[in-house]
Amino acid sequence: ARSIDLAVIPGDGIGPEVVDQGLKVLTAVLPGDVKLETTTYDLGAKRWHATGETLPDAELERLKAHDAILLGAIGDPTVPSGVLERGLLLKLRFVFDHYVNLRPSKLFPNTPTPLAGRPDIDFVVVREGTEGLYVGNGGSVRTGTPAEIANEVSVNTAYGVERVVRDAFERAAARPRKKLTLVHKTNVLVHAGHLWQRTVDRVAQEYPQVSTDYLHVDAATIFLVTQPERFDVIVTDNLFGDILTDLAAAVTGGIGLAASGNINPTGAFPSMFEPVHGSAPDIAGTGKADPTATVLSVALLLRHLGHEAEAARVEEAVTADLAERDAAAPRSTDAIGDALAARVSG
């Protein structure tokens, strides 16, 4: 497209700071003839404190009209746990049917990893984004009494599983190693697990060039630290994907670098791009936040909107910037953003 109509949700904590850098790099990388229009949405803790609103219907309607959404971070210790997450972030993912939650994991050169031996890490997690334990299908009775029962229901459908599994096979087929690993817990969650396993087995027949295997989620965490190079594409449910991608971020240099896309591949609703990290209220305003995860999320956004060359330029800039980083001389959020913007426009 020769124009991008972008919704921006800076959110809480370090969200606004990192989003500023993401926009800086986005502006710098776009060719002169691509018009970027941004609309900022004031959503998050401040708004909730002021009005009690998390995501009013009118805002949701306005958001629908954009080409894509760039989100910083949502969540604040002054708001009861779950209110903003479920009322805002997850609501966006669900209403806009972001069924592919795409989270690449790559260990860049010169980037610190807690793992000895610096294994080669380059895989992508395709996390289901609209089902599982995230559906909000839970409740409690006799709450606060010694007889309380609190249930949470994981909902999984053939419809929901198949579409994300197909997306994962497509991605695996397009990668050099062509390997897909299903992660679940089929030996305990037999109903949901077998639905996932049956779906992968069936779709696999259409992709003879893709090799598949299976790991229980507990075993997958072991391989993520002992043999992360074994992974190429991982497909998994919403909660397991949440857990695995934080761990994956940790072994590839930290959540300061982990990007994500909440993608609706049909295009029926805008996709949303955000760093995997949270709002980190402890460092908000200190200039210590690393905007790289947001910048890499901007690359995913560009790719999603068809600007492949620009996406690649952003990723190359990040790679080059990381290669020259000096842990003894940390730069501010702003300085990193400036450096990346300079590289992509250079």
For the question of residue 246 being annotated catalytic, the response is: yes
Among 110, 198, 206, 229, binds its own copies (CB under 8 A): 198
Contacts 24+ apart (CB under 8 A), 268-271: 268/97, 269/64, 269/95, 269/96, 269/97, 269/98, 270/7, 270/63, 270/64, 270/66, 270/67, 270/68, 270/69, 270/96, 271/68, 271/69, 271/96, 271/98, 271/301, 271/304
- Is 122 an interacting residue with respect to ligand IPM (CB under 6 A)? no
User: Mapping DSSP to helix (H, G, I), strand (E, B) and coil, where does residue 190 land?
Assistant: helix
Pairing verdict, β 100-106 and 259-263: antiparallel
- Asked if 260 contacts 153 with a C-beta cutoff of 8 angstroms, the reply is no
Nearer to its own copies, 219 or 335 (CB): 219
User: Residue 86, by phi and psi: left (phi above 0), alpha (psi -120 to 50) or beta?
Assistant: alpha
- Asked if residue 10 belongs to a known ligand binding site, the reply is no
- Give me the catalytic one of 5, 67, 246, 338: 246
For the question of residue 120 being annotated catalytic, the response is: no
Shortest distance, position 250 Cβ to its own copies, whole Å? 4
Rounded Cα gap, residues 326 and 334, in angstroms: 16
Residue nearest to ligand IPM (CB): 85
For the question of residue 57 being annotated catalytic, the response is: no
Rounded Cα gap, residues 280 and 266, in angstroms: 33
Q: What mask, x for binding its own copies by CB under 8 A, covers residues 101 to 130?
A: ------------xxxxx-------------
- Asked if residue 166 belongs to a known ligand binding site, the reply is no
- Is 190 an interacting residue with respect to ligand IPM (CB under 6 A)? no
Restricted to residues 57-96, the positions that interact with ligand IPM (CB under 6 A) are 75, 85, 89-90
- Is 218 an interacting residue with respect to ligand IPM (CB under 6 A)? yes
Question: Which among its own copies, ligand IPM, none contacts residue 266 (Cβ within 5 to 8 A by kind)?
Answer: none
Instruction: Return the structure tokens found at 245.
Output: 């991608």
- Asked if 310 contacts 302 with a C-beta cutoff of 8 angstroms, the reply is yes
Taking alpha carbons only, the member of 11, 20, 81, 73 closest to residue 46 is 11
Nearer to ligand IPM, 158 or 188 (CB): 188
User: Mapping DSSP to helix (H, G, I), strand (E, B) and coil, where does residue 214 land?
Assistant: strand
Shortest distance, position 188 Cβ to ligand IPM, whole Å? 5
Beta partners for residue 104, in sequence order: 124
- Is 201 an interacting residue with respect to ligand IPM (CB under 6 A)? no
| Residue 109 CB neighbours (<10 A) | 9
Among 1, 174, 190, 323, binds its own copies (CB under 8 A): 190
End-to-end CA separation in angstroms for the chain: 23
For the question of residue 218 being annotated catalytic, the response is: yes
- Is 243 an interacting residue with respect to its own copies (CB under 8 A)? yes
**Chain residues that interact with ligand IPM, rule: CB under 6 A:** 75, 85, 89-90, 187-188, 218, 242, 276
Residue ranges of the annotated binding site for NAD(+) are: 278-290
Positions that interact with its own copies (CB under 8 A): 75, 81-82, 85-86, 90, 113-117, 133-134, 138-140, 142-159, 162, 185-195, 197-198, 217-219, 221-222, 225-226, 239, 242-243, 245-247, 249-251, 254-255
What are the residue numbers of the active site? Answer: 134, 185, 218, 242, 246
